[in-house]
Protein backbone atom coordinates (compact mmCIF):
# COMPACT_ATOMS: atom_id res chain seq x y z
CA UNK A 1 0.00 0.00 0.00
CA UNK A 2 1.31 3.47 -0.82
CA UNK A 3 1.71 6.12 1.84
CA UNK A 4 0.04 9.51 1.20
CA UNK A 5 3.29 11.14 0.07
CA UNK A 6 3.94 8.20 -2.31
CA UNK A 7 0.51 8.56 -3.88
CA UNK A 8 0.78 9.41 -7.57
CA UNK A 9 -1.42 12.40 -8.35
CA UNK A 10 -2.24 13.95 -11.71
CA UNK A 11 0.10 16.84 -12.53
CA UNK A 12 -2.81 19.30 -12.45
CA UNK A 13 -3.75 18.17 -8.93
CA UNK A 14 -0.14 18.45 -7.71
CA UNK A 15 0.09 21.98 -9.12
CA UNK A 16 -3.13 23.00 -7.40
CA UNK A 17 -1.94 21.59 -4.08
CA UNK A 18 1.23 23.70 -4.32
CA UNK A 19 -0.92 26.83 -4.73
CA UNK A 20 -2.89 26.26 -1.51
CA UNK A 21 -2.20 28.85 1.20
CA UNK A 22 -5.45 28.60 3.17
CA UNK A 23 -7.72 25.72 4.17
CA UNK A 24 -11.44 26.12 4.88
CA UNK A 25 -12.49 23.26 7.10
CA UNK A 26 -15.98 21.91 7.53
CA UNK A 27 -16.47 20.96 11.16
CA UNK A 28 -18.83 18.09 11.99
CA UNK A 29 -17.73 15.06 10.00
CA UNK A 30 -14.38 16.59 9.10
CA UNK A 31 -12.56 17.69 12.26
CA UNK A 32 -14.90 15.96 14.72
CA UNK A 33 -18.06 13.90 14.89
CA UNK A 34 -20.63 14.90 17.48
CA UNK A 35 -18.55 15.48 20.60
CA UNK A 36 -15.53 13.45 19.49
CA UNK A 37 -12.49 15.11 17.96
CA UNK A 38 -10.80 12.96 15.33
CA UNK A 39 -7.28 11.87 16.39
CA UNK A 40 -5.79 13.42 13.24
CA UNK A 41 -7.27 16.90 13.74
CA UNK A 42 -4.82 18.51 16.16
CA UNK A 43 -1.74 17.09 14.37
CA UNK A 44 -3.17 18.37 11.07
CA UNK A 45 -3.70 21.89 12.46
CA UNK A 46 -0.20 21.89 13.96
CA UNK A 47 1.21 20.87 10.60
CA UNK A 48 -0.68 23.67 8.85
CA UNK A 49 0.91 26.16 11.26
CA UNK A 50 4.36 24.76 10.49
CA UNK A 51 3.64 25.05 6.77
CA UNK A 52 2.34 28.61 7.10
CA UNK A 53 -1.10 27.61 5.78
CA UNK A 54 -4.04 29.43 7.34
CA UNK A 55 -7.22 27.69 8.53
CA UNK A 56 -10.83 28.80 8.89
CA UNK A 57 -13.63 26.67 10.34
CA UNK A 58 -16.95 26.63 8.49
CA UNK A 59 -20.19 25.02 9.51
CA UNK A 60 -23.68 24.79 8.07
CA UNK A 61 -25.07 24.10 11.53
CA UNK A 62 -26.79 27.27 12.84
CA UNK A 63 -28.00 25.72 16.09
CA UNK A 64 -25.07 27.10 18.12
CA UNK A 65 -23.73 30.64 18.36
CA UNK A 66 -20.14 31.50 17.50
CA UNK A 67 -19.34 31.61 21.22
CA UNK A 68 -20.95 28.18 21.66
CA UNK A 69 -18.84 26.75 18.84
CA UNK A 70 -15.62 28.19 20.19
CA UNK A 71 -16.46 26.75 23.62
CA UNK A 72 -17.35 23.40 22.01
CA UNK A 73 -14.02 23.32 20.20
CA UNK A 74 -12.22 24.33 23.37
CA UNK A 75 -13.72 21.43 25.33
CA UNK A 76 -12.23 19.08 22.75
CA UNK A 77 -8.83 20.72 23.07
CA UNK A 78 -8.97 22.87 19.93
CA UNK A 79 -8.31 26.55 20.49
CA UNK A 80 -9.73 28.92 17.87
CA UNK A 81 -10.63 32.60 17.62
CA UNK A 82 -13.85 34.23 16.44
CA UNK A 83 -12.26 35.42 13.19
CA UNK A 84 -11.42 31.79 12.35
CA UNK A 85 -15.10 30.84 12.37
CA UNK A 86 -17.92 31.41 9.88
CA UNK A 87 -21.34 29.81 10.31
CA UNK A 88 -24.49 29.65 8.22
CA UNK A 89 -26.32 31.87 10.70
CA UNK A 90 -23.72 34.59 10.10
CA UNK A 91 -24.27 34.12 6.36
CA UNK A 92 -28.06 34.37 6.88
CA UNK A 93 -27.72 37.62 8.81
CA UNK A 94 -25.46 39.03 6.10
CA UNK A 95 -28.00 37.99 3.45
CA UNK A 96 -30.91 39.59 5.27
CA UNK A 97 -29.00 42.86 5.57
CA UNK A 98 -27.99 42.98 1.91
CA UNK A 99 -30.85 41.31 0.03
CA UNK A 100 -33.81 42.00 2.36
CA UNK A 101 -32.88 45.29 4.09
CA UNK A 102 -36.52 46.05 4.96
CA UNK A 103 -36.90 42.78 6.89
CA UNK A 104 -36.55 43.68 10.55
CA UNK A 105 -39.09 41.30 12.13
CA UNK A 106 -38.55 37.57 11.61
CA UNK A 107 -40.53 34.44 12.32
CA UNK A 108 -37.73 31.95 12.85
CA UNK A 109 -37.55 28.23 13.50
CA UNK A 110 -34.35 27.73 15.44
CA UNK A 111 -32.72 26.94 18.74
CA UNK A 112 -32.56 29.57 21.51
CA UNK A 113 -28.88 30.05 20.66
CA UNK A 114 -29.70 30.73 17.00
CA UNK A 115 -32.53 33.11 17.90
CA UNK A 116 -30.27 35.02 20.27
CA UNK A 117 -27.90 35.76 17.38
CA UNK A 118 -30.74 37.39 15.44
CA UNK A 119 -31.59 39.55 18.45
CA UNK A 120 -27.94 40.52 18.91
CA UNK A 121 -27.85 41.50 15.23
CA UNK A 122 -30.78 43.89 15.76
CA UNK A 123 -33.71 41.82 14.49
CA UNK A 124 -37.06 41.46 16.23
CA UNK A 125 -38.57 37.99 16.54
CA UNK A 126 -42.29 37.56 15.87
CA UNK A 127 -44.39 35.53 18.29
CA UNK A 128 -46.51 32.52 17.34
CA UNK A 129 -49.50 34.81 16.84
CA UNK A 130 -51.42 35.59 13.63
CA UNK A 131 -51.54 39.25 14.68
CA UNK A 132 -47.73 39.51 14.96
CA UNK A 133 -46.86 39.78 11.28
CA UNK A 134 -43.21 39.13 10.32
CA UNK A 135 -41.29 40.57 7.40
CA UNK A 136 -39.65 37.24 6.58
CA UNK A 137 -39.48 33.61 7.69
CA UNK A 138 -36.17 31.93 8.51
CA UNK A 139 -35.94 28.16 8.95
CA UNK A 140 -32.88 26.64 10.57
CA UNK A 141 -31.71 23.40 12.16
CA UNK A 142 -34.17 23.54 15.04
CA UNK A 143 -33.62 20.93 17.74
CA UNK A 144 -36.49 22.53 19.69
CA UNK A 145 -38.97 22.24 16.83
CA UNK A 146 -42.68 22.13 17.69
CA UNK A 147 -45.61 21.27 15.46
CA UNK A 148 -47.42 24.56 16.18
CA UNK A 149 -44.43 26.67 15.11
CA UNK A 150 -43.98 24.68 11.89
CA UNK A 151 -47.63 25.35 11.12
CA UNK A 152 -47.24 29.07 11.83
CA UNK A 153 -44.09 29.30 9.67
CA UNK A 154 -45.93 27.50 6.87
CA UNK A 155 -48.83 29.95 7.15
CA UNK A 156 -46.59 33.00 6.74
CA UNK A 157 -44.75 31.33 3.86
CA UNK A 158 -48.08 30.60 2.21
CA UNK A 159 -48.94 34.29 2.57
CA UNK A 160 -45.91 35.16 0.45
CA UNK A 161 -43.38 36.21 3.08
CA UNK A 162 -39.72 35.79 2.04
CA UNK A 163 -38.60 32.27 2.96
CA UNK A 164 -34.94 31.78 3.91
CA UNK A 165 -33.24 28.52 4.88
CA UNK A 166 -30.01 28.69 6.85
CA UNK A 167 -28.58 25.55 5.20
CA UNK A 168 -29.56 22.70 2.86
CA UNK A 169 -28.32 19.76 4.96
CA UNK A 170 -30.79 16.89 5.21
CA UNK A 171 -29.25 15.36 8.34
CA UNK A 172 -26.62 16.44 10.86
CA UNK A 173 -23.75 14.02 11.60
CA UNK A 174 -23.81 12.47 15.06
CA UNK A 175 -21.95 9.87 17.07
CA UNK A 176 -25.20 8.92 18.84
CA UNK A 177 -27.69 6.17 17.83
CA UNK A 178 -30.19 8.51 16.18
CA UNK A 179 -30.89 10.51 13.02
CA UNK A 180 -30.67 14.28 13.48
CA UNK A 181 -33.18 15.73 11.00
CA UNK A 182 -31.59 18.93 9.70
CA UNK A 183 -32.80 22.13 8.05
CA UNK A 184 -33.10 20.71 4.54
CA UNK A 185 -35.52 18.05 5.71
CA UNK A 186 -37.55 20.54 7.75
CA UNK A 187 -37.79 22.78 4.68
CA UNK A 188 -38.85 19.80 2.55
CA UNK A 189 -41.77 19.22 4.92
CA UNK A 190 -42.77 22.89 4.72
CA UNK A 191 -42.40 22.92 0.93
CA UNK A 192 -44.69 19.90 0.68
CA UNK A 193 -47.27 21.66 2.85
CA UNK A 194 -47.11 25.09 1.16
CA UNK A 195 -45.98 24.39 -2.39
CA UNK A 196 -43.11 26.88 -1.91
CA UNK A 197 -39.42 26.08 -1.79
CA UNK A 198 -37.11 28.50 0.05
CA UNK A 199 -36.36 31.71 -1.82
CA UNK A 200 -32.78 31.61 -0.54
CA UNK A 201 -30.76 28.71 0.86
CA UNK A 202 -27.70 29.89 2.76
CA UNK A 203 -24.75 27.89 3.95
CA UNK A 204 -22.78 25.53 1.80
CA UNK A 205 -22.94 25.11 -1.22
CA UNK A 206 -23.61 28.86 -1.53
CA UNK A 207 -20.18 30.20 -2.60
CA UNK A 208 -20.57 33.31 -0.45
CA UNK A 209 -19.54 31.08 2.47
CA UNK A 210 -16.03 31.27 0.98
CA UNK A 211 -16.06 34.80 -0.42
CA UNK A 212 -15.60 36.38 3.01
CA UNK A 213 -12.50 34.27 3.65
CA UNK A 214 -11.06 35.19 0.26
CA UNK A 215 -11.60 38.90 0.92
CA UNK A 216 -10.33 38.79 4.50
CA UNK A 217 -7.06 37.10 3.55
CA UNK A 218 -6.73 38.67 0.07
CA UNK A 219 -6.70 35.27 -1.59
CA UNK A 220 -7.43 34.08 -5.08
CA UNK A 221 -9.88 31.14 -5.33
CA UNK A 222 -7.04 28.85 -6.45
CA UNK A 223 -5.27 29.50 -3.14
CA UNK A 224 -7.99 28.03 -0.93
CA UNK A 225 -8.96 24.41 -0.34
CA UNK A 226 -12.46 23.60 0.85
CA UNK A 227 -12.29 20.41 2.91
CA UNK A 228 -15.42 18.55 3.96
CA UNK A 229 -17.29 15.27 4.15
CA UNK A 230 -20.31 16.13 1.97
CA UNK A 231 -20.42 16.24 -1.79
CA UNK A 232 -23.65 18.24 -2.15
CA UNK A 233 -22.48 21.02 0.17
CA UNK A 234 -18.70 21.16 0.64
CA UNK A 235 -17.55 19.91 -2.76
CA UNK A 236 -20.28 21.65 -4.74
CA UNK A 237 -19.41 24.95 -3.03
CA UNK A 238 -15.73 24.48 -3.88
CA UNK A 239 -16.64 24.14 -7.54
CA UNK A 240 -18.99 27.11 -7.47
CA UNK A 241 -16.30 29.26 -5.81
CA UNK A 242 -13.55 27.91 -8.11
CA UNK A 243 -11.71 26.61 -5.06
CA UNK A 244 -10.01 23.23 -4.60
CA UNK A 245 -12.50 20.67 -3.26
CA UNK A 246 -11.19 17.97 -0.92
CA UNK A 247 -13.50 15.18 0.24
CA UNK A 248 -12.60 13.41 3.50
CA UNK A 249 -14.18 10.02 4.16
CA UNK A 250 -14.68 10.58 7.90
CA UNK A 251 -18.30 11.73 7.68
CA UNK A 252 -21.29 11.33 5.38
CA UNK A 253 -19.89 10.58 1.91
CA UNK A 254 -18.27 7.29 0.94
CA UNK A 255 -15.65 6.47 -1.68
CA UNK A 256 -18.46 5.08 -3.84
CA UNK A 257 -20.33 8.39 -3.55
CA UNK A 258 -17.19 10.20 -4.70
CA UNK A 259 -16.94 8.04 -7.84
CA UNK A 260 -20.55 8.89 -8.76
CA UNK A 261 -20.33 12.58 -7.85
CA UNK A 262 -20.95 15.25 -10.48
CA UNK A 263 -19.02 17.46 -10.24
CA UNK A 264 -16.44 15.24 -8.56
CA UNK A 265 -14.07 16.22 -5.75
CA UNK A 266 -10.68 17.43 -6.90
CA UNK A 267 -9.16 15.11 -4.30
CA UNK A 268 -10.47 12.30 -2.08
CA UNK A 269 -8.58 11.33 1.11
CA UNK A 270 -9.41 9.02 4.03
CA UNK A 271 -8.93 11.83 6.57
CA UNK A 272 -7.15 15.10 7.29
CA UNK A 273 -3.96 13.18 8.06
CA UNK A 274 -3.51 12.14 4.45
CA UNK A 275 -4.42 15.59 3.15
CA UNK A 276 -1.85 17.17 5.46
CA UNK A 277 0.84 14.80 4.17
CA UNK A 278 0.00 15.70 0.56
CA UNK A 279 0.14 19.42 1.31
CA UNK A 280 3.46 18.99 3.08
CA UNK A 281 5.09 17.09 0.22
CA UNK A 282 7.83 19.29 -1.20
CA UNK A 283 7.16 22.18 1.22
CA UNK A 284 9.49 23.26 4.03
CA UNK A 285 8.01 22.96 7.52
CA UNK A 286 8.92 25.42 10.27
CA UNK A 287 9.87 23.48 13.44
CA UNK A 288 7.44 23.87 16.33
CA UNK A 289 8.61 26.23 19.02
Report the C-alpha gap between 177 and 1 in whole angstroms: 34
Residues of 75-85 as b/e, b for ≥16 C-beta within 10 angstroms? Answer: eeebebeeebb
Give residue 285's pLDDT: 85
Give residue 2's pLDDT: 40
Describe the chain by its helix, strand, coil percentages, rounded to 5. Answer: 40, 20, 40
Give residue 288's pLDDT: 63
Q: Which residues contact 37 (CB under 8 A, 6 or more apart)?
A: 31, 76, 77, 78
Give residue 5's pLDDT: 54
Domain residue limits, the chain: 4-60+204-280, 89-201
Q: Which residues contact 289 (CB under 8 A, 6 or more apart)?
A: none
Ramachandran class of 242: left when φ > 0, alpha when ψ lies in -120 to 50, beta otherwise: left
3 state SS of 230: coil
What CA–CA distances, in Å, run from 207 to 61, 86, 243?
Answer: 16, 13, 10
Q: How many CA atoms, within 13 angstroms, populate the side-chain half-sphere of residue 64?
A: 18
Q: Print pLDDT tens along the chain (289 aa).
A: 344 556 788 899 999 999 999 999 999 899 998 888 999 999 999 999 999 999 999 988 899 888 888 998 999 999 999 889 988 998 899 889 989 999 999 999 999 999 999 999 999 999 999 999 999 999 999 999 999 999 999 999 999 999 999 998 899 877 789 999 999 999 999 999 999 999 999 998 999 888 878 888 899 999 999 999 999 889 999 999 999 999 999 999 999 999 999 999 999 999 999 999 999 997 888 876 4
Report the C-alpha gap between 114 and 212 in whole angstroms: 21
Planar angle of CA 84, 90, 91, nearest 5 degrees: 105
Architecture field, domain 89-201: 3-Layer(aba) Sandwich (3.40)
Sign of CA dihedral 90, 91, 97, 98: positive
Give residue 242's pLDDT: 96
Q: Which fold has domain 4-60+204-280?
A: Rossmann fold (3.40.50)
Q: Are 183 and 143 in contact (CB under 8 A)?
A: no
Give residue 96's pLDDT: 95
Beta-bridge partner residues of 201: 165
Q: 4-60+204-280 and 89-201 share one CATH topology? A: yes
Amino acid sequence: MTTPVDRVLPDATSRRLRDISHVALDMDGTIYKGGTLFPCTLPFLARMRRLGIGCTFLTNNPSKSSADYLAHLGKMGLTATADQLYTSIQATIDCLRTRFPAARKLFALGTPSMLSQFREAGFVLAADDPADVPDAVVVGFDLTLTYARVCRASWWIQQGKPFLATNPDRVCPTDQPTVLVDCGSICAMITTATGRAPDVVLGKPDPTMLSGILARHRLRPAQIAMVGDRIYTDILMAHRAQAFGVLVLTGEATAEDAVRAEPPPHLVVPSLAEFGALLAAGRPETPSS
